[in-house]
Amino acid sequence: MDADLVIVGAGLFGLTVAQQAVEKHGAKVEIIDVRDHIGGNAYSYMDEETGAEIHKYGAHLFHTSNPRVWEYVNRFTEFTNYVHRVYTTHNGEVFPLPINLGTINQFFHAHYTPAEAKALIAEQAGELAGTDPANLNDKGISLIGRPLYEAFIKNYTAKQWQTDPSELPAGIIKRLPVRFNYDNRYFRDTWEGLPKDGYTAWMERMIDDPRIHVTLNTDFFDESQPLNKKALVGKVPVVYTGPVDRYFDYELGDLKWRTVDFKEVRYDEGDHFGCPVMNFADSDVPYTRAIEFKNFNPERKDSQNPDKTVVWEEYSRFATREDEPYYPVNTAEDKALYEQYAAKAAQEPKVVFGGRLGTYKYYDMHNVIDTALTAYEEQVAPLLG
């Protein structure tokens, strides 16, 4: 075949490697993807009725403190000045997240100073204060006290994992951010924003080069078409960004993932929630959060429908092989299984495994780009000679 490198998966990892291979090596690159679009889970499209940019696989928010990544992405897109803030509904009342002094004072109908709030939370952790519990429920109480944990974390987490938090490992949360000031910015990174003309336009610019060819609707494991695993592996360098267990036909077992389902709701009003993301902390609401896409881009109000809005309600569950995998479950058993797959992957001739699915890790977008730049330098470039 007339390609120096084949990339399986047109997500951010694959696109970054493709761009680097062309720019730094002059390589001819073939990208294949089983989906009908590039961009992986960061893909977005415009909704004609509302003028909203829909993030097809859930809200994607770019943020980073990594200068290398920030410099790299700004080659392909400008960013808005969007700052992400999240709110949560509990018992019919809306509170700011992450938990901050505003949340605490609103919840307790008080006017605590930072020092008073810290003392209160330590007191409310009770006998769990300063301990290191093994389960998530007790860990949460030890970190932020029982009242705040039970109001904002317990039921949300139970919905997210379909499991009682007392049966979940404490490592899932590790820490719960509590800010003893009124800062309700969700991220603390140096840079933050959304691509000015959308995610898909950004991705298209990354591979706007005649030496990069993209073939969509193409399954790497389908031997009835030429760009398949059997025909390519060992004959040409391959960057594989699909599920690592699928690559080996699940021969050691399935790695477990969480997936997300979305229910679209349209409203005959210009703004339903007044914010982009509204969490629902209570168990009587079956979804974890709702995303109102118009509110990510207030700078586009002139091109948005002032009388219509679209909201996606987000439901979390365990994934099957047929689902889109989002979050690795990462139990000790899963980690051990992944290590076995990683050992097999290391033996594959001229194959580099990368991205969220290929390495069984949850990455934000900036992490994906950073690991892709490193993978190109350390693993892909040597294969290109």
The catalytic residue among 321, 362, 377, 378 is: 362
Q: Active site includes 300?
A: no
- Residue partners of 87: CB distance under 8 A and separation at least 6: 94, 95, 96, 97, 273, 275, 277, 278, 279
Among residues 289, 338, 341, 370, the one annotated as catalytic is 289
Active-site residue among 4, 179, 192, 341?
Answer: 179
The active-site residue out of 175, 249, 268, 322 is: 175
Annotated active-site residue 49? The verdict is no
Number of Cβ within a 10 Å radius of residue 272: 18
What's the rounded Cα separation, in Å, for the pair 227 and 370? 27
Active-site position among 87, 258, 313, 356: 258
* Angstrom distance (rounded) from CA 279 to CA 314: 10
Per annotation, catalytic residue among 204, 219, 254, 364: 364
Looking up tokens 């040409």 gives 236
- Active site includes 362? yes
What residues form DSSP beta bridges with 239? 7, 352
Do residues 190 and 71 touch, judged by C-beta distance below 8 A? no
Task: Decide if 268 is catalytic.
Answer: no
Give the CA radius of gyration of the chain. Answer: 23
CA-wise closest residue to 151 among 160, 142, 161, 141: 141
If DSSP codes are grouped into helix, strand and coil, which group holds residue 185?
coil
**DSSP calls for 281-305:** -STTSSSSEEEEGGGG-GGGGGGS-
Catalytic, 208? Answer no
Q: Is 289 a catalytic residue?
A: yes
Q: Do the Cβ atoms of 159 and 288 come closer than 8 Å?
A: yes
**Which sign does the torsion angle of CA 27, 353, 329, 131 carry?**
negative
Which residue type occupies 66?
A: N
State yes or no: is 188 an active-site residue.
no
Amino acid at 237: P
> Hey, which residues are catalytic here?
175, 179, 258, 289, 314, 362, 364
